[in-house]
């Protein structure tokens, strides 16, 4: 928060590549972090970039609510100090959308299957699902079982269906209807 109006990045993290500090890309844009190098990525995203889709829930890498992609690999933002991110490329849930801002196939599948209960864990679930689909474009039931993130509300069956819907869509076999599928 740092005494700033909402949604305006402070000067020291706007693109200024010549200053010293940690240079990194977030969702395709260059940033500089000149603050505490120990600061976890989670709190930098949350407090300074106002990218609040990455959620705090455990702080120890146990639940996945803070999942982000670092150079394409899933990681826990709560356990990733800024000093490890020099020159790295971070994608947050806000960066999953298509270029025009419309939801990605995966996000749309989440909407279509109404995979949300309280919603708090779902941004992390989407990052984990994105990574899973990269490894397994046509995930088996066992692949889906391996999705590691916690959901306290019990939305897992709908997350499975959303993932399967997204996989069909990406394979060029989108569902005829946007209404949720029948239980498997």
Partner 1 sequence: MSEMDRRRFLKVMLGAGGALIVGIPLRAAHAATPPVPLALLGDSWTRLSAFVSIEPNGRTLIGARAPDTGQGVRTALPRIIADELDADWTRVEVLALPLGVEDDNGKPRWLYGPQHAGGSRNIPEAWQDLRSIGAAARWLLRNAAAQRWNLPADRLTTRAGWVLSPDGRRLDYGELAAAAAQLQLPDAGVALKSASDYRLIGQPARDVDARAIVSGRQAYAFDQTWGDGYVAVIARCPYAEGELEHLDDSKARAVAGVEKIIPISVREAAGLIGEVPLAPGIAVLARDTWAALKGRTQLALRWRARHGGDASTDALAQQAATLLKGTPTTQVRNDGDFAKAFKAAAHRIKAEYHVPFVAHATMEPMNCMALVTSARAHLIAPTQSPRRAFEIVRKLTRLDAGSILIEMPRIGGGYGRRLDDDYIAEAVLLAQAAGKPIKLLWMREDDMTHDVYRPFGVHRLAAGTDRKGRIAAWQHHLASTSRLWHRGVPSDQLWTSEMQPDALPAGLVPNLQLGWYALDFPLWRGAWRAPSHDSNTFAIESFLDEIAHATHQDPLKLRLALLQPARPLPVQDGTFDSGRLAAVLKQAADSIGWGQRPPAGHGRGLACAYSAGGYCAHAFEVSVQSGKLHFHRAVAVVDVGRVVNPLGLDAQIMGGTLDALSTALKLEITVKDGQVQQQNFPEYPIARMRELPRAVEVISIASTTAPVGAEDLGVPSAAPALANAIFAATGKRLRHMPFAAQLAHMD
17-36 positions binding partner 1, by CB under 8 A: 36
Nearer to partner 1, 39 or 174 (CB): 39
Distance of closest approach, residue 112 Cβ to partner 1, in angstroms: 8
Q: Is 154 in the site for partner 1 (CB under 8 A)?
A: yes
Q: Of 17-25, 83-91, 145-153, 165-173, which part binds partner 1 (CB under 8 A)?
A: 145-153
Calpha distance 69→135 (Å, rounded): 13
Burial class (CB in 10 A: 0-12, 13-18, 19+), 118: exposed
Q: Of 12-20, 46-54, 69-77, 168-176, which part binds partner 1 (CB under 8 A)?
A: 46-54
Report the residue from 11, 114, 135, 138 that binds partner 1 according to the rule CB under 8 A. 114
CB-based contact 9:27 (threshold 8 Å) = no
Q: Is 66 in the site for partner 1 (CB under 8 A)?
A: no
Write the secondary structure of 54-103 as one string of H (helix), E (strand) and C (coil). Answer: CCCCCCCCCCCCCEEEECCEEEEHHHCEHHHCCCCEEECHHHCCCCCCCC
Report the residue from 16, 52, 84, 169 that binds partner 1 according to the rule CB under 8 A. 52
């Amino acid at each position: 928060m740092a005494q700033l109006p909402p949604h305006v990045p402070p000067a020291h993290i706007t693109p200024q590549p010549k200053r010293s500090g940690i240079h990194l890309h977030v969702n395709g844009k260059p940033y500089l972090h000149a603050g505490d190098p120990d600061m976890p990525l989670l709190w930098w995203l949350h407090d300074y970039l106002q990218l609040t889709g990455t959620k705090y829930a455990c702080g120890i890498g146990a639940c996945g609510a803070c999942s982000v992609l670092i150079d394409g690999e899933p990681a826990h933002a709560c356990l990733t100090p800024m000093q490890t991110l020099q020159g790295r490329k971070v994608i947050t849930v806000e960066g999953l959308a298509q270029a025009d801002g419309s939801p990605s196939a995966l996000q749309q599948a989440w909407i279509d299957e109404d995979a949300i209960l309280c919603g708090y864990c779902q941004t992390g679930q989407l990052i984990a699902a994105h990574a899973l689909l990269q490894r397994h474009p046509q995930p088996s039931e066992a692949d889906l079982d391996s999705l590691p993130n916690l959901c306290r509300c019990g939305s897992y069956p709908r997350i499975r269906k959303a993932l399967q819907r997204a996989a069909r869509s990406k394979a060029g076999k989108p569902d005829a209807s946007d209404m949720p599928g029948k239980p498997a």
